[in-house]
Structure 1
Amino acid sequence: DELPTSQYLNEVSKKLREKGISLACLDIESDCYVLITVPSSDIDEIKKLAQEVGYRIQDSF
C-alpha cells in the first residue's frame, strides 16, 4: 500500500514473470491505461498485432 504505482507494478510484474505471465499496459491514447496479462511466450506477437492496428503495448514498467 505504501509503494508508488510504478514500483508496485514492477513488483507484480516480476512475480508474474516467474510464472510465465507478462503484465502489460495497452495504450489506447486515453487518460486510462488498460492492464492486461498474457502468456510471456505470446507478448511479442501481441505487441506486433497491437501496433498493426494503431495501438501500443508496453510490458516493462
Structure 2
Amino acid sequence: MVRRRVREAYRLNKHLLTQPGTPVAYIAFLYTAKQIISFEEIEKGMKLALVKCAVKRS
C-alpha cells in the first residue's frame, strides 16, 4: 500500500525532475516513517524532493 502511494506520487510528479538536455539521474526513495501517512503528505514530500534534485542537477 505504501509502495503504491510512493510510486503514484513519483509518476504524477516526475516531470519536475526530467528536463530535455539534462543527464539521466538514478534515484531511490526510502519510506522510513513508523506509521502509514496519507497520499497527500507523500506527494508533498515527493514534490519537494524532486524539485531539490532538479535544482542540484542544473
Which of the pair is proportionally richer in strand? 1
Instruction: State the TM-score bracket (shorter-chain normalisation).
Output: 0.3 to 0.5
Larger RCO: 1 or 2 (CA < 8 Å, sep 6+): 2
Which of the pair is proportionally richer in helix? 2
TM-score normalized with structure 2 length: 0.32
TM-score normalized with structure 1 length: 0.31
